[in-house]
Amino acid sequence: MTSLAKFVKQWALDEGFALAGIAPSTPLRELEYFPAWIDAGFHGEMDYLARTNEVGKLRRAALENVAPWARSVVVCATNYNSDAPYSTQESDRSRGWISRYAFVEADYHDLLLKRLRRVEQRMVEHVVSEGRPAPRTWCYVDTGPVVERVLAQHSGVGWTGKNACILNQKLGSWLFLGVILSEYALPPDLPAADCCGSCTRCLDACPTQAFIAPRELDATRCISYLTIEKRTAVPEELRGNMGRHLFGCDICQDVCPWNRRAPVSHDPAFAARLELVNPPLEWIAGLTPEEFRKLFHNSPIKRAKLSGILRNAAIAMGNSGDRKFLPHLRNLENHENPAVAEHARWSIAKLEMMPDADPNT
Ligand code: SF4
Ligand code: SF4
């Protein structure tokens, strides 16, 4: 099994993953917080996180609750960092911000799943070629009932930073994770050491104070959740602190010292789509359904739907403090989607209350 583990990690690198490691399937203490976190409602409208198995146990609270047959987990990580500025380096409030993982060329789910499945296939073929029965395996990229970052920590791929992201000393935190659950007990790697030290930059920089504690997030306050997952109205007390975010938020990663020298990926799939880096708000606010489909058909951004992006653009225009957006907001005020219309009205009121607002604009 030791040589198979070595082979599997090499095959992952052959497929373009930057890192690979093996995590154990035993209960992990980092998941002990999960039931109380769900009970407290910190997952908001992400009901899938609260799904239970046939005996009522939270699926994500332990690997045995979802795949009791699994004996080890192969964790693979891809560097998606592109040659584009960080959100904290840009201050033009008339432009919006799309999260780094979403302004690249490829939709990582499909791409990485294909690569992961090739690793899985080689693993199964290798076992069968040695005269053993084909092992049971499952592959996931972001969509499985497992907490990938905890598995990544135990595979040695990286440690969980205080910003709740996986960090690697060489690559930083711009990492997509994929996992292969395996029936075979491949020998686990050593967990990664925590290198956050006394730093608290990420916790201090969060504009909506979304961290309950280091590594523990109240998702209902996080801009990533608010701009992508939240389908109903964004609480008014949070809108002002959402800044110009259109889809996701990178602030707690942008400020991390480990990302200062994070290398850029050479994979063309993760090259930045320049039109999506810091896009003008009026362009996004004027997108038609057809333009939205064309622009984002191969992008994670489609998850937010056009109505979600327009709602977020309305908030961002209100937060810009720039009255030039009033005509765009008045268009959105009449939008057929009530959430878009209501958030546009909120922003109009905000801009009109500004001391130098011209009522005739
Ligand atoms: S993604 Fe943004 S809002 Fe969410 S915790 Fe990080 S800094 Fe805060
Ligand atoms: S900003 Fe500091 S505390 Fe936060 S994840 Fe990075 S090193 Fe850790």
| H, E, C per residue of 290-317 | HHHHHHHCCCHHHHHHHHHHHHHHHHHH
Same domain as 124, residue 31 = yes
Q: Is the CB of 164 under 6 A from ligand 1?
A: no
- Structure-model confidence comparison of residues 358 and 211, the more confident one: 211
- Paired tokens of 253: 């990663």
C-beta of 252 in contact with ligand 1 (< 6 A): yes
Task: Judge if 213 and 158 occupy the same domain.
Answer: no
Rounded mean pLDDT, 217-243: 97
71 plus 32 within the same structural domain: yes
Give the pair of three-digit tokens for residue 73. 């987990």
Of residues 64 and 354, which shows the higher confidence score? 64
242 is a domain residue:
yes
Q: Which residues, 6 or more positions from 166, have their beta carbon under 8 angstroms from its beta carbon?
A: 77, 149, 152, 153, 157, 158, 159, 160, 173, 175, 177
Q: Are residues 233 and 322 in the same domain?
A: yes
> DSSP assignment of 245-260, as one string?
EEE---HHHHT-GGGT
pLDDT over 70 (residue 358) = no
Asked which of 122, 152, 182 is the last residue of a domain, the reply is 182
In the prediction, which pLDDT does 1 show?
Answer: 62
Report d(CA 63, CA 71) in Å as an integer: 10
The reported pTM is: 0.94
25 touches ligand 1 (CB under 6 Å) = no
Who's near 193: CB < 8 A, 6+ residues apart?
159
327 located within any domain: yes
Are 139 and 174 part of one and the same domain?
A: yes
Residues 47 and 147 in one domain: yes
Structural domain containing residue 298: 201-261+274-352
Tens digit of each residue's pLDDT (9 = 90 or more) over 289-348: 999 999 999 899 999 999 999 999 999 999 999 999 999 999 999 999 999 999 999 999
What is the predicted pLDDT for the residue at 283?
Answer: 98
Note the pLDDT tens digit of each residue in 178-205. Answer: 999 999 999 999 999 999 999 999 999 9
**Rounded percentage of the chain residues whose pLDDT exceeds 90:** 93
Residues 112, 220, single domain; the answer is no
The pLDDT score that the predictor gives to residue 126 is 95
Residue nearest to atom 8 of ligand 2 (CA): 196
pLDDT of residue 355: 75
Please give the Cα distance from 170 to 244 (Å, whole number): 30
Confidence tier at 143 by pLDDT (50, 70, 90) = confident
Q: Is the pLDDT of residue 360 over 60?
A: no
pLDDT, averaged across the chain: 95
Which ligand 2 atom sits closest to the C-alpha of 214?
Answer: 3
Q: In this structure, are 8 and 74 located in the same domain?
A: yes
Residue 91: per-residue pLDDT: 86
235 and 326 together in one domain: yes
Please give the distance, rounded to the nearest whole angstrom, from the Cα atom of residue 210 to the centre of ligand 1. Answer: 6
The burial of 185, by beta-carbon neighbours within 10 Å (0-12 exposed, 13-18 middle, 19 or more buried), is given as middle
Residue 133 lies in a domain: yes
pLDDT of residue 352: 95
CB 24 within 8 A of CB 131: no
pLDDT score of 354: 84
* pLDDT above 70 coverage of the chain, percent: 98
In a domain, 67, yes or no: yes
Start-to-end CA distance of the chain, whole Å, equals 71
User: What is d(CA 242, CA 249) in angstroms, rounded to the nearest whole number?
Assistant: 9
Across the beta sheet with 72-79, the strand order is 19-24, 72-79, 175-182, 137-140
Tell whether 268 is covered by a domain: no
Residue 229's contacts (CB-CB under 8 Å, 6 or more residues apart) are 44, 45, 46, 219
| 257 Cβ closer than 6 Å to some ligand 2 atom | yes
Domain end point (choices 123, 152, 182): 182
Q: How far is the CA of 255 from the centre of ligand 2 (A)?
A: 8
User: How far apart are the CA of 344 and the centre of ligand 1, in A?
Assistant: 23
* pLDDT attached to residue 106: 85
Q: Are residues 171 and 293 in the same domain?
A: no
Q: Which two tokens stand for residue 217?
A: 């997030």
Residue 96: what pLDDT? 97
Which pLDDT band holds residue 351 (cuts at 50, 70, 90)? very high
How many structural domains comprise the chain? 2
Question: Is the model's pLDDT at 359 over the cut of 60?
Answer: no
Number of the ligand 2 atom closest to the C-alpha atom of 200: 3
Q: Are residues 241 and 131 in the same domain?
A: no
* Mean pLDDT (whole number) for 139-147: 93
